[in-house]
Chains A and B, each alone.
Chain A
């Protein structure tokens, strides 16, 4: 029998998500931001699987969702890191704050 309440998993995922969010919002280094982003996506996966596991195990939509999140996360990190490398080559910096060309 299971004894872990779903709430533990959910709280865990919320916490991981918020840590990842903090990393995204507060870190200077662009690569660190990507890392925070990975944390957030992982938290999402945990959340989804927790719900699947506790509530909707018969339907496949939860798993499909998780799969897609995996794929998207992979693609996004690849592209994001490529962008950072490219930007680094241009501007010789990886500090996110310094990339403010869009400033109005």
Chain B
């Protein structure tokens, strides 16, 4: 990837938005991407003319109400779907995706689930064993390896899913509301885990959530999206000091400001 797009088309904020890691190469380059589904009466524009650059090591949150195209955008970056128009470039970086439901394979134990990710990358058996043990320890899941997914709590399943994502050794990790189904306490602890792991493992994260406060808690930059059709509304650099917590007044304040901006949008959606 050579050029860094500063195009102002489709997204006024893109050109002027402050960029952290200003010198880091762009990991995900999204240029004028649209996605349409269906034909005739069923035709919908899920995403219109989205332009966005995400730099290496950056943690970007995509926030918006249902139907704003955030999951669509994530699937496009993941390569699970193709854009109707526009370009998404991730170079030769490996991309991993974590879902709201852990989606661990129910016929495999936790060990085997993590190991499969390594196996599919062609890593030999002795190395796999060692790496699985390492990852489970990193995710504080040691001793749970022989359990099957249904024998684990929701929080442990998501940590297992995160271990599987890390086993893919991806440069870009996409997360689709990964903590959306967890209770508040477990979610808070997952935020801490994620932050801790990010200090140990280098990765670019694109994190989708509908929770503005979660976005402010976690991200370097938060992208607000709006629906009907889905598009990028504005970008916000979150330069609050870390470690942050959901209850921090500063986090609440920033989240409040962003929520106000989304309010019309949310109201429209609720109606």
**Are A and B interaction partners?**
no
Q: Which residues of A contact B (CB under 8 A)?
A: none
Q: Which residues of B contact A (CB under 8 A)?
A: none
